[in-house]
Amino acid sequence: MKLWKGRFQKEADPKTNDFNSSISIDSRMAQEDIVGSIAHASMLGECGIIGKEESEKICDGLRKIAEDLEKGTLAIDPDAEDIHTFVEGELTARIGSAGKRLHTARSRNDQVALDIRLTLRENGKAIRGQLAELIGVLCEKAEQYSATVMPGYTHLQRAQPITFGHHLMAYCEMLLRDLSRLEDALRRMDVMPLGSGALAGTTYPLDRELTARLLGFSQVSQNSLDGVADRDFCAELAFFSSMTMVHLSRFCEELVLWCSWEYKFVELDDAFSTGSSIMPQKKNPDIAELIRGKSGRVFGDLMGLLAMMKGLPLAYNKDMQEDKEAVFDAIDTLRLCLTPLIPMVKTMTVLEENMRAAAAKGFINATDCADYLVAEKGMPFRDAYKATGELVALCIQKGLTLETLPLEEYRRVCDNFDEGVYEAISLEKCVKDRKVLGGPAPENVVSQVRRVRELLAKMERGTEK
Ligand code: ARG
C-alpha cells in the first residue's frame, strides 16, 4: 500500500510501480536506514517532539528489524517502493501506532541523503584499508628489488636504466594521492543532512547537532535545499574511484606486458592466472586484464552521475534516484578489483635476470656515455650527445653494444674517450649514481619505502582517532 494513498483514487499501474521503485538498489542501505532512523527517533524523544516511551518503542522495534534482516528471518519486500518505505511499514506493522510517529519532521529526501552518506562512509573505510594494504605490498616488493636494474621506457622504447623498486614506488605515489583524494571526499561528506526535510527544513524544534553526534558526523548541513539536493559527494567518490582505476589499469597493463614472452619480467602465481581451453601452453593474466577492462565501467559511472545532475533545478528531483546505482557500482568495482590484485602482486615472481638482460640491450646507457664526456672531459652536452649517437649507430651496424665496442672504435669517433668510459656506462653505476632526490638509485628506493611506510602509519593513527 502506498504512503500517499489518501491523495489518490487508484493503485499504481504495476509496471510503472516497478519502474518507479528503487528497492532493488537501495535495499543494501537497510542497516544504514535503520541506524539513521534510530538516531532520528532518539532525538525526537530527547526534544519532546514525540513521547519518550514512543521513542524507545520505535528504537527497540527498529533494532529488532535490523537483527531479523541480519539473521535472514525477515526478507525485504521486493514490491516496496524503496527501503525507507519498507522499514517504516514493517515497523508500524510490528509496533502499531508509535511507528507512525517515526517520520515526524523528516522526509525521504533528507533520509536518503543521510543513508547514502552512511553507506559510502563504511565503504570508504574499507577501500582505505585495501589501498593501504596494496601500497604496503608494493613497498615490500620495492624494498626486495631496490637494486634490480631494469630498462625504464618512454614511448615503450627502452630509454634509461632504472630499478624495479623505483618503478613500483611510482605506483605507490599515485596510490597515495588516491588515498588523499578519498580522505578529502570523506571529509567533505561528513555532514549530517537530516532536518532539511523535503526541502524547506521543518517547524519542529529539532536538535540536529544531537542527531549528528549520535551518527558520528562532525557537522550538520547548513542549507535545507542543499541538504537534499547535494550529490557532490557521490560524484567525488566516483571520481576518486575512476582515478584509482586509471592507476590500477596502468599497473595491470604493465603486468600483462611483463608476463608476455616478449618481456618475461614477472611470472604470476598459478592461483592468479588462467589457462586456455585450446592452447595447452597458455598461462594468461586474465585478472590484470579484467581490472584494466573494468576501469571503463567506473568512468561510465562518473559520467552518468555528472550527466544525471547537470541542469537539475533545486531541490530534490527523482532523477537523483539514479545516483546510488552509479556510485555503488563505482566503489564496488574498485573494491572487487583490489581484492585479487593485492595477493596477485604479493605472490608474483620477479625475474631479475630477464630485466637485467633487457636493460643490457637497447643502449639505455647512451645518455650516461654522453654525460661521461661532459663530466670527465668537459665537452659541451650537445657535442657529447652527437658523438654518442654516432657510436650507437656504429654498434648497431656491427651488432655490438656500448659495453662490447672496443676503445679504438670509441676513439675513432671522439678522441676524448679513454678506458674510464666502460665504468661510466656500467648499468649498476648508472642507477647507483642517479641518486638525485626522486631518482631510481637503490639507496633512494630504500628511503622512499621508509617515507611511504611512515606516511601510512601516520594516516592509520589519524583514522583511528
Ligand atoms: N528512492 C528515492 C531516491 O532514491 C528516495 C527519495 C524519494 N523522494 C521522493 N520525493 N520521491 O531518491
- Span 215-220, average pLDDT: 98
- Give me the helix-helix angle, 232-259 and 164-189, nearest 10°: 170
pLDDT of residue 464: 66
In DSSP terms, 161 is beta-bridged to 151
Distance 353 CA to ligand 1 centre (A): 60
Q: Which atom of ligand 1 is nearest to the CA of 81?
A: 1
pLDDT-derived band at 275, boundaries 50, 70, 90? confident
Distance 73 CA to ligand 1 centre (A): 27
pLDDT of residue 278: 76
pLDDT tens per residue across span 395-452 = 999 999 999 999 999 999 999 999 999 999 999 999 999 999 999 999 999 999 999 9
Angstrom distance (rounded) from CA 413 to CA 375? 18
- Specify the length of the chain in residues: 465
Q: Whose CA is nearest to atom 3 of ligand 1?
A: 321
pLDDT of residue 290: 97
Q: Which atom of ligand 1 is nearest to the CA of 316?
A: 10
Q: Is 277 a catalytic residue?
A: no
Which residue ranges form the domains of the chain, and what is each CATH number? 5-104 (1.10.275.10), 109-148+157-199+219-358 (1.20.200.10), 366-425 (1.10.40.30)
Q: Which residue shows C-alpha cell 596494496?
A: 134
Binding pocket residue ranges, ligand 1, CB within 6 Å? 22, 26, 82, 108-109, 112, 316, 318, 320-321
Pairing of strands 191-192, 219-220: parallel
pLDDT score of 4 more than 90: no
Higher pLDDT, 223 or 10: 223
Ramachandran region of residue 9, left (φ > 0), alpha (ψ -120 to 50) or beta? alpha
pTM attached to this predicted model? 0.94
pLDDT score of 14 more than 90: no
Angstrom distance (rounded) from CA 24 to CA 15? 15
pLDDT score of 465 more than 60: no
Nearest of 353, 402, 392, 368 to residue 160 by alpha carbon: 368
Distance 72 CA to ligand 1 centre (A): 26
Angstrom distance (rounded) from CA 144 to CA 135? 14
pLDDT score of 463 more than 80: no
What phi and psi values does residue 200 have, to the nearest 5 degrees?
A: -120, 30
Angstrom distance (rounded) from CA 238 to CA 303? 9
pLDDT-derived band at 10, boundaries 50, 70, 90? confident
pLDDT of residue 3: 73
Question: Tell me, what amino acid is at 40?
Answer: H
**Taking a C-beta distance cutoff of 8 angstroms, is the pair 298, 330 a contact?**
yes
pLDDT score of 83 more than 60: yes
Mutate-to-test residue for ligand 1 from 17, 26, 112, highest number of ligand atoms within 8 A of CB: 112
**Nine-digit cell at 159?**
630509454
Q: Is 166 a catalytic residue?
A: no
pLDDT score of 262 more than 80: yes
Distance 91 CA to ligand 1 centre (A): 19
* First CA to last CA distance, the chain: 45
pLDDT tens per residue across span 184-213 = 999 999 999 999 999 999 999 999 999 999
Distance 452 CA to ligand 1 centre (A): 43
Nearest of 287, 270, 290, 276 to residue 348 by alpha carbon: 270
Using CA atoms, how far residue 230 sits from 62, 188, 193, 197, 418, in Å, is 27, 11, 10, 14, 70
Any residues with CB less than 8 A from the CB of 326 and at least 6 apart, and which? 234, 238, 301, 302, 304, 305, 308
Question: Tell me, what amino acid is at 291?
Answer: I
Q: Which atom of ligand 1 is nearest to the CA of 22?
A: 1
Angstrom distance (rounded) from CA 257 to CA 161? 18
Angstrom distance (rounded) from CA 85 to CA 91? 10
pLDDT tens per residue across span 93-136 = 999 999 999 999 999 999 999 999 999 999 999 999 999 999 99
Among residues of the chain, what percentage have pLDDT more than 70? 99
Which of 24, 260, 276, 447 is catalytic? The answer is 276
Mutate-to-test residue for ligand 1 from 22, 103, 199, highest number of ligand atoms within 8 A of CB: 22
Alpha-carbon radius of gyration of the chain: 30
Written in H, E and C, the secondary structure of the chain is CCCCHHHCCCCCCHHHHHHHCCHHHHHHHHHHHHHHHHHHHHHHHHCCCCCHHHHHHHHHHHHHHHHHHHHCCCCCCCCCCCHHHHHHHHHHHHHHHHHHHCCCCCCHHHHHHHHHHHHHHHHHHHHHHHHHHHHHHHHHHHHHCCCCEEEEEECCEEEEEEEHHHHHHHHHHHHHHHHHHHHHHHHHHCEECCCCCCCCCCCCCCCHHHHHHHCCCCEECCCHHHHHHCCHHHHHHHHHHHHHHHHHHHHHHHHHHHHCCCCCCEECCHHHCECCCCCCCCCECHHHHHHHHHHHHHHHHHHHHHHHHCCCCCCCCHHHHHHHHHHHHHHHHHHHHHHHHHHHHHHCEECHHHHHHHHHCCCCCHHHHHHHHHHHHCCCHHHHHHHHHHHHHHHHHHCCCCCCCCHHHHHHHCCCCCCHHHHHCCHHHHHHHCCCCCCCCHHHHHHHHHHHHHHHHHHHHHHHC
Q: Which atom of ligand 1 is nearest to the CA of 82?
A: 1
pLDDT tens per residue across span 15-74 = 888 899 999 999 999 999 999 999 999 999 999 999 999 999 999 999 999 999 999 999
pLDDT of residue 219: 98
Nearest of 443, 405, 440, 381 to residue 160 by alpha carbon: 440
pLDDT of residue 273: 86
pLDDT of residue 11: 84
pLDDT tens per residue across span 305-364 = 999 999 999 999 999 999 999 999 999 999 999 999 999 999 999 999 999 999 989 899
Q: Whose CA is nearest to atom 12 of ligand 1?
A: 321
